[in-house]
Chain A
Amino acid sequence: METLKKLVPSDLNASKWVRMILGILVLALLVWRLVDVILIQRLYGPDTWARFAITGLIIGGMYALIAIGYTLVYGILLMINFAHGEVMMLGSFAGYFVFELLAFIPSPGPENPEQVLLNAFPVLSILVAFLVGMLVSALAGYFLEKIAYRPLRKAPRLVPLISAIGASIFLQNAAMLLFGPQRRTYLNPTLLDRGLGLEIPIAGNNVLVPYTGIFSFVLSILLMLGLYLLVQKTKLGRSMRAVAEDKGAAALMGINVDAVISRTFIISGILAGAAGVMWGVHNGLLNHYVGYIPGMKAFTAAVMGGIGNIPGAMLGGMTLGILESLGPAMLGIDFQLKDVIAFTILILVLIFRPSGLLGERLSEEKV
């Protein structure tokens, strides 16, 4: 905070005015568009709004899981792990190959002689895919830290950041060379077929909530709850919080700082891996580039919620997902501009609330 204060000119009046005028303008624009689209034009019925919201919640859950990875690492190392999206991509590939393998092994049933293992034991298959995806991402996170960040621990803060960007480019291209540049499609078990779902009648229309979406959303909530318990209730969580607050003091108290940092990367890798497999199962599309945009969005979400703050990342992810899918419709602009909305939100947050919606760091709250 001290450095930040030094950067801001002592004469704060000017920037205060600029901020206020900007704020009023943005607000006026928003209100005008909202009133126009929702009350005057009435382009969309309640069922369509519900569809937008459902899309947003599902994607938001995945953003939240990835955003937690950014926030955990920032909380402890004060660096942005820009290769986190690629960690997610590797998990996504791992889950893909598990499904492909299981779909390759025949498991003839009495009724269906051509059945494959994937559909004979769908629940088990999904479980295995998630476990392998999480394992691969956890390993990726662990080695990423070991190779790209640990040697630079004592270097100025910009150095590991550059190293992270390098790691991101390296992993993307390595995946392209290993798995090829073509786009693949996740082969879901029929249980999680992308066309099936719960039908909810809203305003006379049936709104389909896909099972893949329900599954992803529930799983992301469960994982976030698990993480919260881990951070708040276990010994590892306590040492993580201690390292986040003060590495030196933590080391003096007998905490193995390196081990805690490694575990933090493993945990963020596990969450990213789960998000990667979810991404594949729900959206179906996969290539070496799949982690980049979600990674950027999740970073935005983490900043929005307050980087370093775990509940902030969860809130930020959900909010971003919903705003992204509701935003273009609310403002009456092209749906192609949803990325613009996401990154505009990032800019607005940085202007009006630089420390995020829920404040910057968990540890500072405790202080």
Chain B
Amino acid sequence: MKKLSVLLVIVMLATALAACGSKVPEACESDPLGCAVIEKGETVKIGMAGPMLGDYAMFGKDISQGAMVAIDEVNAAGGLEGFNFELIAEDTGGSPEQGAAVASKFVTDETMVAIAGHIFSGESEAAMPIYEDAGFPMMSPSATNPPLTQMGSTVFNRLAFTDAVQAKFAAEMLKNDLGVSKLALVHDGSAYGQGLADEVQANFESMGGEVVAYEAVTPGEADYSATLAAIAAAGPEAVYYGGYAAEAIVMANQWAQAGLTGVTLFGCDGTFGVEFTQKTGANGIGSIAASLVPPDSDEKTAFDTAYQTKFGLAAGELSAFTWSAYDTAYTLMNAAMSVAFVDGDTLYIPRSAMVAAVRGTNYNGLTGAVVCDATGECNASGPSFYEVVSDGAGGSTWIPFTK
């Protein structure tokens, strides 16, 4: 036992001496958190933590796959000064305890520079202080809980838009783009749905709009026509719905019966999805909903093709976060490239500078402008809006909304 500890001390001393012996770049010495050090032959690692197994595995899988597409693109283009990026995805099951455990493991890795995650809000919160101490910047594509950015963390950033952001954009669109002056609100009583409806109401009224009706529905029912008829009697120009697709479908199918023909059904990201158009058919035409899915662009088409060839399934099939994950990975890699320098054969990435670089992101991605504010909210473009149009065969389909 004694021998072993003596040996240990010798080894530690040797390492310390070796470190003293090799020249530490000045930028790393001056950086209070030191540098990520990547020797020749190693990769620059980006960590990702989230549910990779279990009930929510599709989120972890999809987000890591979206990020991988971005990393492969950068590596194919030469990487960072000849060093390749690598994504290390670890399972947390979505739980805060596991999230903290994975974070503690990640911060011991000298070659890891940033975290694309965590995926859930709870685990992100648990991991935040650990990354804060080690100087690992985070960028979550999916953690939407509003307080996360209000905790004074310098490392936490997110590309996910919060419900408050969504509501603000929805109210602006209703008022300015659709020219609605009389709005009705319906929600499903959930924290999510009611929260959205309340935020939209507050925003809409502050812009000078009039809210003529505010109703709640019980989720799971098959008949909302009486509620809708009462709303119709108030004469709104549009109805905002905060809640999930199942109830929105029932409502859209009873729209005409309730006397709401010509009134826009305006849904949230819970409403958006193929399910809505499949189950409402022609009755859904004219409805609008917010979504994470970015509008069509050449970049999106390129991403979708790459995703399809790489993973054998269409982008968006597993979750709606995959495009955000792509932008997240790009943001982190861009930040690394902006602060990294090579000294000899070794790549150095000063950690404080890296944290500041991620917070200072200003880049145009697949999902729109990624500009981080002082608290780490980076989704500057808000949700995309989609509208339902006829598919020409008796059914309907979502297309990006055009003014």
Contact = CB atoms under 8 A, between A and B. Distances in A.
Interface stretch (A141-149, A189-197, A229-237, A344-352): A189-197
A205 interface: yes
Contacts of B393: 114
Contacts of A54: 257
Given A44-B230, A195-B282, A329-B230, A283 B222 contact: yes
Contacts of A335: 215, 217, 224, 226-227, 230
A284 B222 contact: yes
Interface string A34-46: 0000000001110
Contact of A194 (B217, B218, B224, B253): B253
B259 A334 contact: no
B250 A285 contact: yes
B283 interface: yes
B249 interface: yes
Interface in A298-336: 324-325, 328-329, 334-336
Given A185-B249, A193-B281, A44 B256 contact: no
Interface in A266-289: 279, 283-285, 289
B229 interface: yes
A43 B233 contact: yes
A47 B257 CA distance: 11
Interface string B219-244: 01111111101101100000000000
B57 interface: no
A173 interface: no
Nearest to A324: B226
B226 to A, nearest CB: 4
Contacts of A339: 218
Contacts, number: 98
Nearest to B249: A185
Contacts of A238: none
A193 B282 contact: yes
Interface in B7-25: none
A197 B246 contact: no
Given A190-B394, A193-B282, A51 B256 contact: no
Interface stretch (A75-83, A162-170, A207-215, A245-253): A207-215
A183 interface: yes
Contacts of A283: 222-223, 250
Nearest to A45: B233
A72 interface: no
Q: Which of A44, A193, A196, A336 has the most CB of B within 10 A?
A: A336
Contacts of A47: 259
Contact of A336 (B216, B229, B249): B216
B279 interface: yes
Contacts of A193: 281-283
A208 B259 contact: yes
A56 B230 CA distance: 14
A48 B255 contact: no
Contacts of B226: 51-52, 55-56, 324-325, 328-329, 335, 338
Contacts of B279: 185, 284
Q: Which of B189, B224, B225 has the most CB of A within 10 A?
A: B225
B92 interface: no
Interface string A48-77: 100110111001000000000000000000
A284 B217 contact: no
A145 to B, nearest CB: 28
A195 B230 CA distance: 18
Contact of A205 (B218, B223, B259): B259
Interface residues of B, number: 35
A190 B283 CA distance: 12
Contacts of A207: 259
Interface string B239-279: 00000001001100111111101000000000000000011
Interface string B195-231: 0000000000000000000011110111111110110
A290 interface: yes
Given A48-B259, A114-B393, A289 B220 contact: yes
B234 to A, nearest CB: 8
Nearest to B261: A208
B182 to A, nearest CB: 15
Nearest to A325: B226
A207 B229 CA distance: 10
A162 to B, nearest CB: 26
Nearest to A289: B220
Contacts of A52: 226, 229
Contacts of A43: 230, 233
B271 to A, nearest CB: 14
Contacts of B230: 43-44, 48, 328-329, 335
Interface in A171-205: 183, 185, 190, 193-197, 205
Nearest to B217: A336
B217 A213 contact: no
A334 B224 CA distance: 12
A211 B189 CA distance: 31
A285 B256 contact: no
B231 to A, nearest CB: 9
B258 to A, nearest CB: 6
A252 B271 CA distance: 63
Contact of A195 (B217, B218, B222, B255): B255
A284 B250 contact: yes
Contacts of A190: 394
A291 to B, nearest CB: 11
17 contacts: A47-B259, A51-B229, A55-B229, A194-B253, A196-B256, A210-B256, A283-B223, A284-B249, A290-B222, A325-B225, A334-B215, A334-B216, A335-B215, A335-B230, A336-B215, A336-B227, A339-B218
Q: Which 3 A-B pairs have the closest CB atoms?
A: A283-B222, A185-B279, A335-B227
